[in-house]
Chains A and B, each alone.
Chain A
Amino acid sequence: MEAIFSATIGILTACGIFMMLRGRTLPIVLGMSLMTFATNLFLFSMGRLRIGADGLVGSKLGSIDPVPSALVLTAIVIGFAMTAFVMILAIRARADLGSDHINGSRRKSRHDHRSDPLELDESRGGKR
Chain B
Amino acid sequence: MLLPLIILLPLIGSLVPVLARRARRTPIALLTALLPGAALAITIWLGIQVLKGDILHFALPWVPQMGLALAFRFDGLSLLFTLLILGIGLLVIVYARYYLDPKDSMPKFYGFLMLFMTSMLGIVTSDNLMLLWFFWELTSVSSFLLISFWSWSSNARKGARMAFAVTGAGGLCLLASLMLMGHIVGSFSLDTVLHSGETLRQSPLYPLVLILLLLGAFTKSAQFPFQFWLPHAMSAPTPVSAYLHSATMVKAGIFLLIRLYPVMGDTNGWYYIITLTGLITMFYGAYMAMVQYDLKGLLAYSTISHLGLITMLLGLDTRLSTLAAVFHVVNHAIFKASLFMAVGIVDHECGTRDSRRLGGLRRYMPYTAALATVAGASMAGVPLLNGFISKEMFLTETLQIQSLGGLSWLIPALATLGSALSVAYSLRLVVDVFYRGEPRFLPKQPHEAPRPMRLPIEILIILCLAVGMFPSFTVGALLNSAMSVVATDAMSGQSLAVWHGINLPLMMSAAAMLLGLIIYLMRNILHSSFRRDFLKTDAKLVFERAVQKSIAFGERVLDRIDSRSLQQYMLVMMTLMLIMAVQGLVKMPGLMGPVALQPIDPFVLAGAIAMCIGAIATVNFQRYRLIALICLSITELMVALAFLKFSSPDLALTQLVVAPVTLILMLLTLFFLPQQTPRVSSGIRILRDLVLAAAVGTVIASINFAVLTDHYDSIGKFFTDNAVSGAGGHNVVNVILVDFRGFDTLGEITVLGITALGVLKLLNRMKLFVPTTSAENRPWAPEYFPTIFGSVAQIVLPLALMVAFYFFIRGHNLPGGGFIGGLVAASALIMMYTARGVEWTMRRLRIDFQRLIATGLLIAWLTSAAPLLFGHNFLTTWFDHFDIPLIGSLEIASALVFDLGVFLTVVGATMMILANLGRLATPYSPAREHRQIDGAMSAKKEMR
Contact = CB atoms under 8 A, between A and B. Distances in A.
Nearest to A26: B673
A6 B731 CA distance: 28
Given A3-B597, A69-B733, A14 B697 contact: yes
A94 B674 contact: yes
Contacts of B408: none
Interface in A3-18: 3-18
9 contacts: A11-B612, A15-B697, A34-B618, A44-B651, A88-B917, A92-B763, A100-B674, A110-B559, A127-B151
Contact of A57 (B704, B724, B737): B724
A106 B812 CA distance: 52
A22 B552 CA distance: 32
Given A1-B597, A46-B707, A77-B819, A95 B673 contact: no
Contacts of A37: 615, 635-636, 639
Given A13-B697, A54-B647, A85-B755, A103 B733 contact: no
Contact of B662 (A22, A33, A72, A92): A33
Interface string B731-772: 111011100010011001001100110110011001111000
A127 to B, nearest CB: 6
Contact of A84 (B565, B628, B665, B744): B665
A53 B647 contact: yes
Interface residues of A, number: 97
Contacts of A117: 548, 551
B606 to A, nearest CB: 10
Given A2-B708, A87-B665, A9 B700 contact: yes
Given A21-B692, A88-B669, A118-B547, A76 B152 contact: no
B589 to A, nearest CB: 18
B619 interface: yes
A90 B672 CA distance: 9
A25 B618 CA distance: 15
Contact of B619 (A15, A51, A89, A114): A15
The 6 closest A-B pairs by CB, nearest first: A10-B701, A14-B697, A65-B716, A66-B732, A18-B693, A6-B705
Nearest to B151: A127
Interface in B572-607: 574, 597-601, 604-605
B570 A20 contact: yes
Nearest to A85: B755
B616 A51 contact: no
Give the interface SS of chain A, mostly helix, strand, loop or mixed.
Answer: helix
Interface bracket on B: 35 or more
A29 B556 CA distance: 32
B491 to A, nearest CB: 49
A48 B712 contact: yes
A40 B707 contact: no
B470 to A, nearest CB: 51
B644 to A, nearest CB: 10
Given A81-B909, A94-B769, A2 B748 contact: no
Nearest to B647: A53
A119 B157 contact: yes
B827 to A, nearest CB: 12
A90 B708 CA distance: 37
A45 to B, nearest CB: 6
A30 B674 CA distance: 15
B372 interface: no
B92 interface: no
Given A57-B730, A95-B766, A7 B662 contact: no
Nearest to A25: B673
Interface centre among A6, A79, A98, A119 (most CB of B within 10 A): A6
Contacts of B567: 21-23, 102-103
Contacts of B605: 4
Interface string A46-73: 1111111111111101011111011011
A27 B608 contact: no
Interface stretch (B24-32, B272-280, B437-445, B653-661): B653-661
Contact of A5 (B608, B651, B697, B724): B608
B245 to A, nearest CB: 24
Interface in B358-373: none
Contacts of B157: 119
Interface centre among B599, B708, B733, B735 (most CB of A within 10 A): B733
Contact of B748 (A33, A59, A65, A74): A74
B720 interface: yes
Given A37-B635, A88-B762, A110-B558, A49 B665 contact: no
Contacts of A67: 714-716, 719, 736
A7 B608 contact: yes
B642 to A, nearest CB: 7
A73 B642 CA distance: 14
Given A28-B566, A116-B548, 17 more contacts: A11-B612, A18-B690, A37-B635, A42-B700, A48-B712, A50-B647, A51-B604, A53-B647, A54-B649, A58-B730, A69-B733, A77-B654, A88-B917, A91-B669, A103-B566, A110-B555, A119-B157
